[in-house]
Amino acid sequence: MSPVILPTKKSEVDNRWIKQKTVIIGAPGCGKSTFPSFGEKTLYLQCEAGLNHLSVMKTPVTSWAEWEATYAALMQAKIKGEFPYDTIIVDTIDRFNDCAVQEAIDIGRNKYKGTEINVIADIPNGAGWGFATDLLENALCKLEKLDCHVIIIGHLDRKEIKQPNGVSVHLQTISIGGKTGRAIMSWGDNVLNIETKMVGNVMKRVVRTVPTVSVDAKSRGNLIKDGWEWSSNDKENYDKFRSLYK
């Protein structure tokens, strides 16, 4: 192994689009899938139905086998210098996680052949959830290696969280629970939590990027300002987001 050369100066901030990781969570119909669809070099990994209203490049990923085949094709394109995308979107991470859970069940059945395993909780010693989380985290790491902006779209849930003082609050966060949900939220450089409310017949959409006791959100470096109100023009919203990066 080559000797380690210790740094002697600070690194520069890397604000390139292809080095970013974004998580978008929000209620159904708030436009979280439409928002990133205006990129010309964007690929959707379509894990569930719901993109027929958009003109986009998309490929189905509805099983772990499809994910592995898709990633192999993407990596092969990169190795050949023919990678055509600057953005890849996982839509939705909820269904992608379901694929990981099913793969974990299959792993459990092979590992514990003498045990009847129908759901992930049947895997002995609680190992199934670890299998699924490892699969998903490994997939996210693989996507990072493609040198493109990775966007994860997820469903929103309101979970009751008990604080250290014993008071319970309802946290707006990703619908995936446990260690897997926390891993996804930690992974993103930005977590855009889209809050919606009806004002008359108009849906108002506000992007939250600062975490509170009731809102799970973030923006590393405070690049995306908290309280950004989306206009009715989704392309305009996307162009503003894109302009923040090199």
pTM above 0.75, yes or no: yes
Beta bridge partners of 154: 25
In a domain, 2, yes or no: no
What is the count of structural domains for the chain? Answer: 1
Q: Give the Å distances, CA to CA, from 207 to 74, 85, 225, 229.
A: 31, 26, 8, 6
Q: Give the Å distances, CA to CA, from 27 to 189, 205, 227.
A: 21, 10, 17
The pLDDT tens digits of the residues spanning 32-64 come to 999 999 999 999 999 999 899 999 999 999 999
d(CA 215, CA 217): 6
Q: What pLDDT was estimated at residue 119? A: 94
Neighbouring residues of 242: CB distance < 8 A, sequence distance ≥ 6: 17, 39
Q: What pLDDT was estimated at residue 238? A: 97
Q: What pLDDT was estimated at residue 90? A: 98
- Domain of residue 33 covers 17-242
d(CA 10, CA 13): 9
Q: What pLDDT was estimated at residue 172? A: 93
| Closest among 102, 91, 93 to 131, alpha carbons compared | 102
In a domain, 63, yes or no: yes
The pLDDT tens digits of the residues spanning 204-239 come to 999 999 999 999 999 999 999 999 999 999 999 999
Beta bridge partners of 170: 160
- Which amino acid does the sequence have at 165? N
Please report which helix (H) or strand (E) contains residue 100, including its range. helix 93-111
CATH number at 191 reads: 3.40.50
In a domain, 112, yes or no: yes
Q: What is the mean pLDDT of each run of 10 residues along the chain (246 residues)?
A: 91 93 95 96 96 96 98 97 97 96 95 92 92 96 95 94 83 93 95 93 94 94 94 96 95
Pull the structure tokens for residue 111.
């590992």
